[in-house]
Amino acid sequence: MKFNNKIITLMSVVFLFAAHTVRAEDSKDPIKMTLHDWTGQLITTNIMAEVLKKAGSNIELVQADYLAQFAGLQTGDLHLAMEMWETTGRDAMDEYTADGRVVNIGSTGMEGIEEWWYPSYMKDVCPGLPNWEALNDCAEAFSTAETSPMGRYLGAPVTWGGFDDERVEALGLDWEVIHAGTDAALFAELESAYQRKAPIMLWVYAPHWAPAKFDGEWVEFPEYTTECYTDPSWGTNKNSAHDCGKPRGPIWKVASSQLEEKWPNAYKAVESFTLSNDEMGSMIVAVDLEGGTVEGVVAEWMANNKSKWESWIK
Amino acid sequence: MFYKKNHSQVNFFFLLTLTFIFYLYGKEWCSYLGIEWAIKYPKQFIFPLKIYISSFVKWLMNEAHFVIFSFKDLTRSISWIIEQPYQFILSLFAKGFYKGQGQEAQLILPPLSWIAVTTIITSLAIYTKDKVLVALVSLSFFYLAVFGQWNSAMITLSSIIIAVPIGVLLGLSLGIASYKSKIIEKIIRPVLSLMQTIPVFAYLVPILVMFGFGPVSALIATVIYAMPPMVHTTILALKGVDPQIKDFGLISGCTNRQLMWKVLIPSSKSTIMVGVNQVIMLSFNMVIIASMIGAGGLGYDVLTSLRKLDIGGGVESGLAIVILAVALDRLSQAYVRLRPESKSKNQSIFKKYGLLLICLAVMAATYLMGFVSEFIKSYPEELSVSTSVFWENSMRFINVNYYDLLESIKVFLLIFFLMPIKKFFIAIPWPWMVIIITITAWHYGKFKLSILTFLLLMFIVISGLWEKAMITIYLCGSSVIIACLIGIPLGIFAGLNKKADRILTAFVDTLQTLPSFVYLIPVVMLFRVGDFTAMIAVILYALAPAIRYTAHGIKNINKELIEASLISGCTPRQLLFKVRLPLALPEILLGINQTIMLALSMLVITALVGTRDLGQEVYIALTKADIGRGLVAGLCVAFIAIIADKIIVASSNRLKIKYGIM
């Protein structure tokens, strides 16, 4: 055994050395990675940063707004953003990747889920759920003074898109869509309703702490296909598009074009980075609900997944 | 005005009835007459200003060249210049000095210990010889340490330390320039009112593009937002200098420069300091927004805790901002009151520089002891206190027990107050609305004001944002009405009663510096997203000037007038309604004016809880990084503010003339 180990070590040293001489050198300047204001993104970014540090890169973490950061990526003030959700960042991403100064370097492996969601206690009131066809029967149970007799669905900020107004129209739902302004407002309502066991139907997304903290389910709409959004004749409503659920979208990594030019090795490592929804979900819970720190949780992940991240920087 | 009163009243009622008729039947008439464009401004006539602005900024950043350098080089070198002192201060207070970059960096010098910073700031307070202030300041900084806010607070403090002097110096020089030249003043004034009224979110993206990503852009946004009052007060202060003093300076042979710096500025120091004070307070207002684009610190803590719905955490960081702001505010005010003492020459060095020596000694001692004791280096985490659980539980208690009660109040107000107002504003055809507002402007401000009003309103119309503008006016209008209904009586009470005054002042200070985000989320929990929640947030923020100005107006009434009325046998009731209130009216109107301004500046924040007004338009533009769209919507907000401001100031001036105050 011992002998084997030594040989392996020796081989890997030789191998690394060989690889090292072949490799193009990365610049010594710090790679500027952006931090946003939600836990999942902090975890993703910190894992990537730790891994790149192990590979010898120089890392600087910079606080930046989710969408405003594109301006910085374009000019090369910032270099790498680890989470750009297909579902919310598409427009901005398309705009800035157009001239090639910002590049999409593939999926993080995580997939954003977004859909209508309700707490489990509402199943007692509306046993037909999660099937979407039950929505009309229970609309009144979900109504408030402002929307009565229509059900009240709390949608995401208008900027997130999602076609909920169109969906309600196309599926003939007796529901009114109210848009929250931010996700903090969205989950504040959920928390409040959950404390009182009051009716609520709202937009919840994952990976996020909310589906872990609150017991509930996503409504099952007819499954999304591209035709559903583009072709009116598809689905139950022959005259209208959007008569299905929401697409699930990858979470992308985006970078300044400088990343590949100045730090080709780091670029490769970032390209290989993947995490699963489950891994991310449990780490978010550890931080947001169990009071752990981002650094602690990331260190734990690094310790437990050594082979995984070593393969990224190989 | 007296002899015209009846005449104008008749006109007023005539126009009001006409407006009401338009509200009821306008829509039908317009569709009957085939002039739908009066209800909804047609899309094809919308002037695409936003597209022009966006492409202009793009051109500016990518192509614009002055002879040897590009526009981008220019803006980037400005940000480099600001970056240097900022990095130094940040290292000094929060980060420590490092050699090298990234994780290879080595710490050369740790940041100042919390004990050292508290000592320095306390000595600054001791210098003013005000015992209450000393207690306040030292306790404040102690709070920051005990509640685990130290590090973030120092980051915030660093950006304030940089932003405030830049704002003050720029403001002072612009103020002096406008004092010297009428032309410059004419140019600067409208620019200033735009700076004050365009929502910050509207110019955030252009700033990021120009000045790069990071704390410097946040600093520049802060300066833009916080500087205008400094210019205003500087102009006011210089104009207010007694002409005799100026003449005296001239006679004694001052050069122009000497006249300005040795005579005019020193003698108007106390007014100028009011401007400094405003710059400090407004800079603190920007803490949250600045943290969204990379400033970090307390603002960032507030944002992240509220995203986790950690209300307690948000409140604690929010209160830390309040405490820091109030401490610095009181300190700066104390320095305004400070009179230069006659320096006796035979003081010993220790007496002269005692405090400075103590500070240096503490800095050195804590630096050395920091190597031995962790406690001195940084306040230990396990000793810090948190009230998080308390806030969490009280919120839950209110939510579970009082939700239904609050809900019924809300529904009542929605049905009988908010909805009718909203319908009213949306139903009136825009041409009539433009006409009626222009007429109002003409009534108070004559020809010039009415032309300005008309042009600004037409800008909103041709930008295609009329409906959103009306929702804005409805939301702000109803909030301002309620804020005045609450604020003016409280202000009167504070004006008459010293004790109430002290309590209300503290309350108002807290409301103004506590980031609105902190109470926005609990309000959402109790009232759900929608116009009502937005209204409450606006009221809470805009209440302050209604209270402050009313109290100020009531307090400043000429004492002799009060005595005269008492002698002539006024009852207390008569004294209030016939003497005090009318005399304080101009001041109260200015308070209402400020309430409107603050309400409009809260708009963007209300977009965060889902309104459909201009604030939302600005916010959408921000999230889509659409420079032109944001600026156009921002300009619309600014124009509404400017119209409201001009009309109210004009009417307040009329009242002053009427009551012989001016």
* Ramachandran bin of A161, using left for φ above 0, alpha for ψ from -120 to 50, beta for the remaining angles: left
Name which of A74, A76, A48 is nearest A61 in CA terms: A48
Which among B303, B525, B607 has CB closest to A37? B303
Q: Which tens digits make up the pLDDT trace of B301-333?
A: 888 888 778 888 888 899 999 999 888 888 888
**Residue A116 pLDDT exceeds 50:** yes
**Mean predicted confidence (pLDDT) in A119-143:** 89
Q: Which tens digits make up the pLDDT trace of B570-612?
A: 888 888 888 888 888 878 887 888 888 888 888 777 887 778 8
Q: Identical fold at A19-111+251-312 and A112-230?
A: yes
Which residue pairs, CB below 8 angstroms and at least 24 apart, start in A190-196?
Answer: A190/A119, A190/A214, A191/B309, A191/B525, A192/B399, A192/B403, A192/B524, A192/B525, A192/B526, A192/B528, A193/A119, A194/A119, A195/B396, A195/B399, A195/B400, A196/B399, A196/B400, A196/B403
**Residue A256 pLDDT exceeds 90:** yes
SS3 content of chain B, % helix, strand, coil (to 5): 80, 0, 15
Contact flag B620-A192 (C-beta cutoff 8 Å): no
Contact flag B213-A53 (C-beta cutoff 8 Å): no
CB neighbourhood size of B261 (10 A): 13
Task: With H, G, I as helix, E, B as strand and everything else as coil, classify residue B111.
Answer: coil
Q: Which of residues 188-207 of A touch B (CB under 8 A)?
A: 188-189, 191-192, 195-196, 198
Contact criterion met (CB below 8 Å) for B633 and B618: yes
Taking contacts as CB-CB distances below 8 angstroms, the residues of chain B near A196 are 399-400, 403
Name which of A204, A199, A157, A148 is nearest A176 in CA terms: A148
Q: Identical fold at B83-98+110-340+347-381 and B417-429+465-658?
A: yes
Contact flag A64-B293 (C-beta cutoff 8 Å): yes
CA atoms of A51 and A269, how far apart (whole Å): 8
Residue B341's pLDDT is: 55
* pLDDT: which is higher, B350 or B251: B251
**Mean predicted confidence (pLDDT) in B262-283:** 83
Contact criterion met (CB below 8 Å) for B648 and B592: yes
Contact with chain B for residue A72, Cβ under 8 A = yes
Taking contacts as CB-CB distances below 8 angstroms, the residues of chain A near B624 are 67, 91-92, 159
Task: With H, G, I as helix, E, B as strand and everything else as coil, classify residue A147.
Answer: coil
Picking from B71, B303, B520, B524 by the largest number of A CB atoms within 10 A of its own CB, the best residue to mutate is B524
Taking contacts as CB-CB distances below 8 angstroms, the residues of chain A near B208 are 68, 71-72
CA distance A60 to chain B (A): 5
Task: With H, G, I as helix, E, B as strand and everything else as coil, classify residue B39.
Answer: coil
Picking from B62, B418, B528, B613 by the largest number of A CB atoms within 10 A of its own CB, the best residue to mutate is B528
CA distance A77 to chain B (A): 6
Taking contacts as CB-CB distances below 8 angstroms, the residues of chain A near B411 are 145-146
Chains A, B: CB contacts under 8 A, how many? 153
**Residue B198 pLDDT exceeds 50:** yes
Q: Which tens digits make up the pLDDT trace of A58-70?
A: 888 887 777 778 8
A19-111+251-312 has CATH 1.10.510.10 classification: no
Spans of all domains in chain B:
83-98+110-340+347-381, 417-429+465-658
Residue of B nearest to A67 (CA): B623
Those residues whose C-beta lies under 8 Å from the C-beta of residue A85, and which sit 6 or more positions away, are A112, A249, A251, A252
Residue B2's pLDDT is: 43
**Residue A23 pLDDT exceeds 70:** no
CA distance B495 to chain A (A): 38
Contact flag A71-B205 (C-beta cutoff 8 Å): yes
Taking contacts as CB-CB distances below 8 angstroms, the residues of chain A near B308 are 39, 209, 288
Confidence band for A15, pLDDT divided at 50, 70 and 90? low
Q: Which of A140-149, B29-38, B336-345, B352-361 has the lowest mean pLDDT?
A: B336-345
Six-digit token string for A131: 């099937």
**Mean predicted confidence (pLDDT) in A194-200:** 91
Contact criterion met (CB below 8 Å) for B628 and A74: no
CA distance A36 to chain B (A): 8
Contact flag A158-B520 (C-beta cutoff 8 Å): no
Taking contacts as CB-CB distances below 8 angstroms, the residues of chain A near B159 are none
Question: So what CATH class is B417-429+465-658?
Answer: mainly alpha
CA distance B209 to chain A (A): 6
Q: Which tens digits make up the pLDDT trace of B383-392?
A: 677 777 888 8
Spans of all domains in chain A:
19-111+251-312, 112-230
CA distance A63 to chain B (A): 4
Q: Which of residues 73-112 of A touch B (CB under 8 A)?
A: 75, 77-78, 91-92, 95-96
* pLDDT: which is higher, B493 or B15: B493
CA distance A311 to chain B (A): 22
CA atoms of A138 and A128, how far apart (whole Å): 9
Contact with chain B for residue A208, Cβ under 8 A = no
Contact with chain B for residue A59, Cβ under 8 A = yes
Picking from B155, B213, B289, B411 by the largest number of A CB atoms within 10 A of its own CB, the best residue to mutate is B213
Q: What ipTM was predicted for this assembly?
A: 0.75
Contact with chain B for residue A63, Cβ under 8 A = yes
Taking contacts as CB-CB distances below 8 angstroms, the residues of chain B near A60 are 101-102
A112-230 has CATH 1.10.1060.10 classification: no
Residue A1's pLDDT is: 44
Residue B9's pLDDT is: 67
Domain topology for B83-98+110-340+347-381? MetI-like fold (1.10.3720)
Taking contacts as CB-CB distances below 8 angstroms, the residues of chain A near B217 are none
**Residue A17 pLDDT exceeds 60:** no
Q: Is the dihedral of CA A98, A103, A106, A109 positive or negative?
A: negative
Contact with chain B for residue A291, Cβ under 8 A = no
Q: Which of B256-270, B340-354, B472-486, B522-536 has the lowest mean pLDDT?
A: B340-354
Picking from B623, B626, B627 by the largest number of A CB atoms within 10 A of its own CB, the best residue to mutate is B623
Amino acid at B541: Y
Its pTM stands at 0.82
Contact with chain B for residue A293, Cβ under 8 A = no
Residue A293's pLDDT is: 85
CA distance B435 to chain A (A): 33
Taking contacts as CB-CB distances below 8 angstroms, the residues of chain A near B607 are 181
CA atoms of B334 and B211, how far apart (whole Å): 36
Residue B66's pLDDT is: 74
In terms of DSSP H, where are the helices of chain A?
A: 2-22, 39-54, 69-75, 86-97, 122-125, 135-138, 164-170, 183-196, 210-213, 226-230, 258-262, 264-272, 277-288, 294-304, 306-312
Read out DSSP for B337-377? HPPPPPPPTT--HHHHHHHHHHHHHHHHHHHHHHTT-HHHH
Contact flag B304-A37 (C-beta cutoff 8 Å): yes
Residue A21's pLDDT is: 47
Amino acid at A90: R
Taking contacts as CB-CB distances below 8 angstroms, the residues of chain A near B610 are 157, 178-181, 185
* Residue for token pair 């869509």: A177
Taking contacts as CB-CB distances below 8 angstroms, the residues of chain A near B606 are 181
CA atoms of B175 and B195, how far apart (whole Å): 15
* Omega before residue A207 within 30° of 0, cis: yes
Contact flag A288-B214 (C-beta cutoff 8 Å): no
Residue B25's pLDDT is: 79
A211 alpha-carbon distance from chain centroid: 14
Averaged pLDDT score across all residues of chain A: 85
Contact flag A158-B620 (C-beta cutoff 8 Å): yes
Six-digit token string for B538: 């606006």
Residue A2's pLDDT is: 47
Q: Which of residues 214-243 of A touch B (CB under 8 A)?
A: none
Q: Which tens digits make up the pLDDT trace of B500-535?
A: 888 988 888 888 788 888 888 888 888 888 888 889
